A and B are shown apart, each in its own frame.
Chain A
Amino acid sequence: MTLLINNIERVRLLHGVKRIRCVEETIAARYSEGKMRCPTHLCTGQEAVAVGVCATLRNTDFAVSTHRSHGHYLAKGGDLSRMLAEIYGKSTGCSSGHGGSMHLIDESVGFMGSTSIVGGTIPVGTGLGLSVSLKGTDQVSCVFLGDGSTEEGVFYESLNFAVIKQLPVLYICENNLYSVYSPIQVRQPANRKIYELARSLGVPSETGDGNDVLDVYAKTSRAVASIRSGGGPVLLEFSTYRWREHCGPNFDNDIGYRSEQEYLDWKQKDPVEVFEAKLCGDEVLSKEALSEMERSIVAEVNDAFAFAENSPFPSPDQLGKYLYKEDEGASL
């Protein structure tokens, strides 16, 4: 496949995956301090899908996501400090401390929300597409979903509606092979392919290497161009792998649901290291420039953690706030 991407953009993609990796691994390292007091689903190992997809989207395009949404939020341009403050339960959090890790939002960059029920935002993103279609703009609505959600009824219901109305919706399925600890083999028949299933529903679809940010970028670029020109919904399935436990900061290859060897095999395809080595090997990026990139990422992430830690908690009298929209100023 021909890649219409220059070296500056490649470096930007590398920065994107390294930044998300740094955020997730810092959360993992600091989680045991007990200050991030909410369930946290890290996307270490899956960064390339978020970065490759969002690099093809505009600020004005919409995105919605799942419980494992840190990467999607950040790649779409969501504010890092406010995300971490949200995970720390602080009033400066993107959801004012009412949401936590699983409920991120930054409407200023089109990230319209992530929720924690499997499949829950598939119809929401479809509805954003309906609204775009009614208003006649050329925005795209991107729905991040996992392989588990393709077993939910709303997946079929939503794709069916998107096809009927030819909605501008980009469905991105990250197939990481597991729904919590349940492998895809026990959940879907062996010869089933999610992208073929989408085709059977009338949604143009293809599959790609979710650990290769350039493959993700290329396939998504083509899909977005088609959607923006009125071609209707597209689903892309990207294979990838969750390195850490379903929820929490640890590795759990020893508890018996998957093998250490499987993890090591996927680690060989590390979406960060493999791409970094390629850019350095191709002399797109010098050692010095790489060091400077890493230094700036660490500095940004440390600053964001400091912001989160130093921010105030919401006042207890905010408990009843935001129940209804008109109650924004009300307290208990």
Chain B
Amino acid sequence: MKRVLTYGQAINEALCVAMRQDRNVITFGLGVDDPKRIFGTTEGLVEEFGPERVFDMPTAENAMTGVAIGAALNGTRSVMTHQRLDFFLLAMDQLVNNAAKWSYMFGGKSSVPITIRLILGRGWGQGPQHSQNLQSWFAHIPGLKVVMPSTAADAKGLLLSAIFDDNPVVYLEHRWLHNIEGEVPEGDYRVPIGEAQVLSSGQDVTLVSFSYMTIEALHAVEHLEKQGVSCDLIDLRSVNPIDWPTVFESVKKTGRLIALDTASQTLSIASEIIARVSMELFHELKSPPVRIALPDYPTPTSPALSEKYYPRAEDIMQAVADLLNMTLDTDELIQSRTSPHDVPGEWFKGPF
């Protein structure tokens, strides 16, 4: 029998499974035990595991990251949570200078098993300081692992892998994914870090995606299929390390690449996908690779401005049409939508 959970419930279940299994697992962050429970993802934890292992924290992102690092050196596995990635930027010192380097700079004598949960956003006027998608910052740092699940099953499987990994893992969850539903295996279900998943198989174009853009890509793929175009949709799941064999195998087959990203385009993960594919498979490419990402501006707040800021499924369809030098109809896709561009669905009523 299929068991369906939301992405947010899957995160909650992963935390429960990890904390039941290993008493060295703790979780802390602003609001983990408050009435809203990090969009429900930490629901029930303080009741089951107690305030010593589940606790709110001072508004001190940098030191608390260092605290997680120090605790890790004595065997405590912390899952630290921030309601916005933007709030965590104060902690880049501890993450980059200490966590990422600890194993390497001490010759493997010890390592730092910590998980940093950061929530990314889009739309609803989150604006310049509440919705940055800075995955390429983290992925650029040797020694960090960076995962960006798109499905409920991967939300659980990657979080469990992150918690029990002996290295620092940045777990980037998209606010617009918290309510998507999917079948989620029970128990200690793990998805290996660094393995992509092929969500759709086709012959014409390779779409490389992750996190929320995978949802837009799924809509595009569905409508492309109706018009006779088939795509490989690769959901990377991890952006460091990247599953290059899966990407290369697909591009060898299709000869065409569109790399999607939830961030500003320049020096993005999508840029790296295009760079490596161009270096390794230049002669297999039938046309220049394409990048679909955000323009190089901060996020605007007004819905009138953000409408043109965020790429959507029709932009992916149009890029495919251009690559294949054909005309495709995007009207049906656009008309099938029931919610405005700045919310993930009717369920989302704000405020954040």
Known: A93-B107, A321-B108, A322-B103. A131 touches B70 (CB 8 A): yes
Number of interface residues of A (CB under 8 A): 47
A121 to B104, CA, bound (A): 17
**Residue on B nearest A314 in the bound complex, by CB:** B107
The one of B69, B73, B90, B107 that contacts A95, using a Cβ cutoff of 8 Å? B107
For chain B, residues 129 to 152, give those with C-beta under 8 angstroms from any C-beta of chain A: 142-143, 145
For chain A, residues 88 to 103, give those with C-beta under 8 angstroms from any C-beta of chain B: 93-99, 103
Q: In the assembled complex, how far is the CB of residue A142 from the closest CB belonging to chain B, in whole angstroms? A: 12
B110 at the interface (CB under 8 A from A): yes
Known: A158-B66, A160-B60. A120 touches B107 (CB 8 A): no
Q: Produce 1/0 per residue, B71-97, CB < 8 A to A.
A: 111111000000000000010011001
Q: What B residues does A125 contact at CB under 8 A?
A: 70
Q: In the assembled complex, how far is the CB of residue A102 from the closest CB belonging to chain B, in whole angstroms? A: 9
CB atoms of A161 and B167 under 8 A apart: no
A129 at the interface (CB under 8 A from B): yes
CB atoms of B58 and A160 under 8 A apart: yes
Q: In the assembled complex, how far is the CB of residue B341 from the closest CB belonging to chain A, in whole angstroms? A: 39
CB atoms of A120 and B167 under 8 A apart: no
Q: In the assembled complex, how far is the CB of residue B269 from the closest CB belonging to chain A, in whole angstroms? A: 19
Known: A95-B106, A124-B69, A325-B167. A62 touches B63 (CB 8 A): no
For chain B, residues 51 to 77, give those with C-beta under 8 angstroms from any C-beta of chain A: 52-53, 57-58, 60, 62-76
A98 to B145, CA, bound (A): 20
Known: A120-B94, A161-B63, A325-B111. A128 touches B74 (CB 8 A): yes
The one of B63, B98, B102 that contacts A126, using a Cβ cutoff of 8 Å? B63
A236 to B340, CA, bound (A): 59
CB atoms of A124 and B73 under 8 A apart: yes
For chain A, residues 53 to 79, give those with C-beta under 8 angstroms from any C-beta of chain B: 62, 64
For chain A, residues 149 to 165, give those with C-beta under 8 angstroms from any C-beta of chain B: 153-154, 156-158, 160-161, 164
CB atoms of B70 and A120 under 8 A apart: no
The one of A120, A121, A164, A321 that contacts B58, using a Cβ cutoff of 8 Å? A164
A113 to B112, CA, bound (A): 12
A166 at the interface (CB under 8 A from B): no
B105 at the interface (CB under 8 A from A): yes
A325 to B103, CA, bound (A): 6
A322 to B110, CA, bound (A): 10
Q: In the assembled complex, how far is the CB of residue A250 from the closest CB belonging to chain B, in whole angstroms? A: 26
Q: Produce 1/0 per residue, A314-332, CB < 8 A to B.
A: 0000000111111010000
For chain B, residues 159 to 215, give those with C-beta under 8 angstroms from any C-beta of chain A: 166-167
A122 at the interface (CB under 8 A from B): yes
A123 at the interface (CB under 8 A from B): yes
A265 to B284, CA, bound (A): 75
Number of interface residues of B (CB under 8 A): 41
CB atoms of B70 and A124 under 8 A apart: yes
A234 at the interface (CB under 8 A from B): no
Q: What A residues does B57 contact at CB under 8 A?
A: 161
A132 to B75, CA, bound (A): 10
Known: A127-B71, A128-B71, A132-B74. A154 touches B63 (CB 8 A): yes
CB atoms of A112 and B110 under 8 A apart: yes
**Residue on B nearest A324 in the bound complex, by CB:** B167
B26 at the interface (CB under 8 A from A): yes
A326 to B52, CA, bound (A): 30
Q: Produce 1/0 per residue, B263-300, CB < 8 A to A.
A: 00000000000000000000000000000000000000
A119 to B58, CA, bound (A): 18
Q: What A residues does B70 contact at CB under 8 A?
A: 64, 112, 123-131, 141
CB atoms of B104 and A127 under 8 A apart: no
B226 at the interface (CB under 8 A from A): no
A222 at the interface (CB under 8 A from B): no
CB atoms of B66 and A328 under 8 A apart: no
Known: A103-B105, A324-B167. A161 touches B76 (CB 8 A): no
A99 to B103, CA, bound (A): 10
CB atoms of B63 and A98 under 8 A apart: no
A161 to B64, CA, bound (A): 8
CB atoms of B67 and A120 under 8 A apart: no
A157 to B103, CA, bound (A): 25
Q: What B residues does A98 contact at CB under 8 A?
A: 104-107
CB atoms of B73 and A112 under 8 A apart: yes
A190 to B106, CA, bound (A): 39
A176 at the interface (CB under 8 A from B): no
Q: In the assembled complex, how far is the CB of residue A86 from the closest CB belonging to chain B, in whole angstroms? A: 9
Q: What A residues does B3 contact at CB under 8 A?
A: none
Q: What A residues does B52 contact at CB under 8 A?
A: 134
Known: A127-B72, A127-B73. A95 touches B105 (CB 8 A): yes
Q: Which of A97, A127, A128, A154 has the most CB of B within 10 A?
A: A127
CB atoms of B71 and A324 under 8 A apart: no
Known: A131-B71, A135-B74. A123 touches B107 (CB 8 A): no
The one of A64, A105, A117, A160 that contacts B97, using a Cβ cutoff of 8 Å? A117
- Can you report 15 A-B residue pairs in the complex whose CB atoms are below 8 A from each other? A95-B107, A105-B109, A113-B110, A117-B97, A123-B65, A124-B67, A127-B76, A134-B26, A134-B71, A135-B76, A154-B60, A157-B63, A323-B103, A324-B103, A328-B108
Give me the 3 closest cross-chain CB pairs, A-B, nearest first: A127-B70, A123-B66, A96-B107
Q: List 6 other contacts, CB 8 Å, given A153-B62, A157-B58.
A: A112-B110, A113-B110, A128-B70, A135-B74, A160-B63, A325-B108
